[in-house]
Chains A and B, each alone.
Chain A
């Protein structure tokens, strides 16, 4: 390792040229395809991906099922435009507002554009708005009427009120399209794919800005939140990260007072980030929510080692005044701790590659690479750079500090030295107390950890005051919830049917034998739907070619018999099954997280009621399957026959419940899943049904589960890897175990804290365990390595401890402060995950620093006889 440093110092100019060349090359490889997308097909342009769905690999069963079902039931991702009008007692049901809404709906339906031969944008026919949905109601005596709920914008206030009243009578619309209090209204905007949501939202916003009224418009929905996140992610990367850099710079300047010198760690951090992110893009990876955090993770780690070098150099240089020599000396002492801190950090992140979540894998691999790049640069570029500095520029360096040191006067010692000296003494004298305190702390932390709530919600990635959060709040208060979860039911086993003897006798014998021949099966066997379809087709073919009326009749009878059997496959026309779904709907409503559910029984009941004079007692499911079937045919006589297929397949063998949650919290979705599992287990269904979820709200839960489990496993794995590395580094089991103490305490404390304050264990929090693992062990390595080295020069640990708390202690404290404080700008980020990361990075570093400086010396003090003797003995032998 020293060789590498020596070579670098000897060939500094060549080294700088090489690094410079690499940086420009990487920048070029990223910039060319990004700025000129058509220039080369081998190069990858910058691709942004804000879709949390991609937290799961695209061939994950839950995603495949999700996409299959979306297609099967003709469902799209949706934006929701909510309209409220608090200043008017009639809410939005006034002539002016409804005119605007009518106008807006028309514009929304036409928001399409062509791209690469595909039509993108709004799926016009499926927009749900007052002017696009049907109203069924009574007209005059006994006449049922289908009409658009609002086929033209109203011209009188009375007309406007009528619309509100009508909509409130349609269960499908109440609390979905119009709020329960008939004051607010929502337009549901299906879009061709999630990644057009931002553009569509912009267009809607544009249209809204032309309205003069006092009404408020809120655009929300998971797709908007996700797309918006992408936009803000960029702001974040462009603003907070450099700001953090600046703050780190200022702090280093405060400590070392030499701009020329502290430029070095800044450059190391910058180049590490550029090369890592460059490699990410060049390798064709997308910049995802996770990978956008890579720079923020690499920066502190990259600066960390360099701060150690500077700190030691700062302390030693004034004594020798020999730049070259001092650098070499510093590097010799720091080489192995730096290598090991980098390796352990990299190992911590690399363990993320074994999680089942692709973006987390990418994140782990690239942060690990970034850490190693930073290490390589630190051991080559930093010493080379320092040795190149003109003597003059170093003249004042560390001088003041050195003079103070020489005076040895306590009054003139810097505050840091005072604190450090005191800490050293304290940890020696009160070693037992510290250890007991540590155990108490761990106990309390364990209690906190047991209280941890695993939860996430992409909408909550925005701050409370963010328009998306505000819209979310307003709409979920006014309506039954804007988070949709879909629950499908289908028979557990493939249905088979059988003709009874009497049924077979009703066939014309000649026709029966022809049918059996065609199928090469007798009809008294078990038959599946495929068999029946085959029979159906054959009968139609024969019947159509029949000219003789009598034979035609006979074929028609056969057709009826077969059709009746086919209906046995159509289980979701059965009243008993529909009643079961009804019960399920009532049950989920009681779970507390569901505002409303829409399902096939609601359609049947509503149409049935209107067929029977609109009387409330007719709001029920009819008694026979044919009656259900005919009610549904009547429903399909409206303007939107396709709506039925959002709830059931045309073969009526699978149904889909739309469940509206008023919160997108995974926790709430999870409790809904549990409730439904419970219901399906305890309630007797007319036939055994299997149930499966889909929808974005559900997918979020699944990736969270994978995330939590994956993170725990990867953390456990990397804990042991790091432990083995430590045992190897110190050639001692006990020293190895000792080095794991600060990180164990830090992590226990942080997660205990999270549990106590009720902060949700979400994506950034999960990732933090790996970060703390990699960083917290660093201080311990530095502290222990230097402690052992210094102890070898001293008689007793007590004496050695004093020295440990000078130069090495200062390096650790400087590190803690520079990096800990340097990341506070993240607290002002507009996105909550960045805030979380910022806060906890600072907290973890502070904690790990304190733990290393207080707990470690206390433990060494208590175990000094064993720890140092065993080493001594080993050296002798």
Chain B
């Protein structure tokens, strides 16, 4: 009898470990491949009336620690359209506290720290949020494996602090081999899907399965944003410490090409 109780415990504990593991791996696959990375991104925002706006930026990334998925630094540099050229963001992502964010506006020659208490605001007017760019931290949600299909783990994630976010939960379809979430659906407070993320194209680059095209659809507003990642590179050696406020004003051209 004792054994059977123990068995019950271990099986549910196993499952708990399993979902944590899936989620951790998924986060790793999406945001932590290699020690660093770079991509040129073309962003196409299309609204309900089919108006298209195209923006281009280069994104640089460096992890604080090589072996564990912890803090990260991002550098985002806009190249297109020309009147936004030079606009840059610097993000220091922390696991235990709010991120640090800086914004540089060349037209005003202004470097501005931005309070990132709320990461669920729009990324430059697109359907992506800041948090989609830097990655939501797995420990902010409670995860549950709701289904396992031939190809996917379907994980339902519920925020621990619901007051900080606009969704009530989201569901991710995590690919079993690559651990890349190929689809996520966000549900509003009534449980209705209102926002959908899709990885529409995946390629293996430098042995890492990499999302090279993704799409975020806002079902309520009828808009969507398409991201095309080009010229993706991993494990770049950044010679200088370019992820600092100083470099926001003087972009590290060598790495942005």
- Convert A136-149 into 0s and 1s, putting 1 for each residue whose CB lies closer than 8 angstroms to a CB of B: 00011011111110
Q: Is the CB of B105 within 8 A of A627?
A: yes
B163 close to A (CB within 8 Å): yes
Min distance, Cβ B104 to any Cβ of chain A, angstroms: 9
Stretch at the interface among B26-34, B115-123, B233-241: B115-123
Report how far A556 CA is from B80 CA in the complex, Å.
9
Q: Is the CB of B107 within 8 A of A630?
A: yes
- Convert A561-573 into 0s and 1s, putting 1 for each residue whose CB lies closer than 8 angstroms to a CB of B: 0011011000001
A117 contact set on B, CB distance < 8 A: none
Min distance, Cβ A651 to any Cβ of chain B, angstroms: 7
A125 close to B (CB within 8 Å): yes
Report how far A406 CA is from B87 CA in the complex, Å.
106
Q: Is the CB of B83 within 8 A of A629?
A: yes
Q: Is the CB of B190 within 8 A of A110?
A: yes
Q: Is the CB of B112 within 8 A of A630?
A: no
Report how far A638 CA is from B166 CA in the complex, Å.
13
A637 close to B (CB within 8 Å): yes
Given contacts A626-B84, A651-B51, contact A540 B42 (CB under 8 A): yes
Q: Is the CB of A637 within 8 A of B81?
A: no
Given contacts A611-B112, A624-B107, A626-B83, contact A147 B125 (CB under 8 A): no
A74 close to B (CB within 8 Å): yes
Report how far A563 CA is from B86 CA in the complex, Å.
14
Q: Which of A71, A124, A564, A625 contacts B220 (CB 8 A)?
A: A124
Q: Is the CB of B105 within 8 A of A650?
A: no
- 159-218 of chain B: CB within 8 A of chain A: 163, 189-190
B114 close to A (CB within 8 Å): yes
Stretch at the interface among A520-528, A641-649, A671-679: A641-649
Given contacts A611-B105, A649-B51, contact A644 B79 (CB under 8 A): no
Given contacts A145-B115, A147-B118, A556-B79, contact A637 B123 (CB under 8 A): yes
Q: Is the CB of B220 within 8 A of A139?
A: no
A158 close to B (CB within 8 Å): no
B117 contact set on A, CB distance < 8 A: 139, 145, 147
A53 close to B (CB within 8 Å): no
Q: Is the CB of A563 within 8 A of B82?
A: yes
- Convert A103-144 into 0s and 1s, putting 1 for each residue whose CB lies closer than 8 angstroms to a CB of B: 000100010000000000000110000000010000110111
* A interface majority secondary structure: helix
B136 close to A (CB within 8 Å): no
Q: Is the CB of B107 within 8 A of A627?
A: yes
Q: Is the CB of A540 within 8 A of B54?
A: yes
B83 contact set on A, CB distance < 8 A: 563-564, 567, 573, 625-626, 629-630
Q: Is the CB of A560 within 8 A of B85?
A: yes
Q: For residue A74, which residue of chain B has the nearest CB?
A: B48
Report how far A553 CA is from B163 CA in the complex, Å.
46
Report how far A544 CA is from B41 CA in the complex, Å.
10
A72 close to B (CB within 8 Å): yes
Given contacts A143-B115, A144-B114, A624-B107, contact A630 B87 (CB under 8 A): yes
Report how far A152 CA is from B105 CA in the complex, Å.
32
Q: Is the CB of B80 within 8 A of A559?
A: yes
Q: For residue A549, which residue of chain B has the nearest CB?
A: B257
- 716-736 of chain A: CB within 8 A of chain B: none
Q: Is the CB of A71 within 8 A of B115?
A: no
Report how far A626 CA is from B104 CA in the complex, Å.
13
Q: Which of B122, B220, B257 contacts A641 (CB 8 A)?
A: B122
B103 close to A (CB within 8 Å): yes
A627 contact set on B, CB distance < 8 A: 105, 107-108
Q: For residue A613, which residue of chain B has the nearest CB?
A: B112
Q: Is the CB of A139 within 8 A of B115?
A: yes
Q: Which of B42, B79, B85, B105 contacts A544 (CB 8 A)?
A: B42
A518 close to B (CB within 8 Å): no
Q: Is the CB of B230 within 8 A of A626?
A: no
- 607-647 of chain A: CB within 8 A of chain B: 608, 611-612, 622, 624-631, 633-634, 636-642, 644-645
A628 contact set on B, CB distance < 8 A: 107
- Convert B67-99 into 0s and 1s, putting 1 for each residue whose CB lies closer than 8 angstroms to a CB of A: 000000000000111111101000000000000
- 1-34 of chain B: CB within 8 A of chain A: none
Report how far A72 CA is from B105 CA in the complex, Å.
29
Min distance, Cβ A555 to any Cβ of chain B, angstroms: 11
- 460-481 of chain A: CB within 8 A of chain B: none
Q: Is the CB of B115 within 8 A of A637?
A: no
- 544-584 of chain A: CB within 8 A of chain B: 544, 549, 552-553, 556, 559-560, 563-564, 566-567, 573
B118 contact set on A, CB distance < 8 A: 146-148, 151, 639
Q: For residue A565, which residue of chain B has the nearest CB?
A: B82
B252 close to A (CB within 8 Å): no
Q: Which of A142, A544, A567, A611 contacts B81 (CB 8 A)?
A: A567
Q: For residue A556, which residue of chain B has the nearest CB?
A: B79
A713 close to B (CB within 8 Å): no
Q: List 24 A-B contacts (CB under 8 A).
A: A110-B189, A125-B220, A143-B114, A143-B115, A144-B113, A144-B115, A151-B118, A544-B42, A544-B228, A560-B80, A560-B82, A611-B105, A611-B112, A622-B107, A622-B108, A626-B84, A627-B108, A629-B84, A630-B106, A636-B122, A639-B120, A641-B126, A642-B47, A649-B51
The 5 closest A-B pairs by CB, nearest first: A636-B125, A627-B107, A145-B115, A563-B82, A626-B83
Using CB atoms and an 8 Å cutoff, list the residues of chain B in contact with chain A: 42, 47-49, 51, 53-54, 79-85, 87, 103, 105-108, 110, 112-115, 117-118, 120-126, 130, 163, 189-190, 220-221, 223, 228, 230, 257
Beyond A553-B257, A637-B122, 16 additional contacts (C-beta under 8 Å) are A72-B49, A140-B115, A144-B112, A147-B115, A151-B118, A536-B54, A563-B80, A566-B81, A611-B112, A625-B83, A627-B107, A636-B124, A637-B123, A639-B122, A642-B221, A642-B223
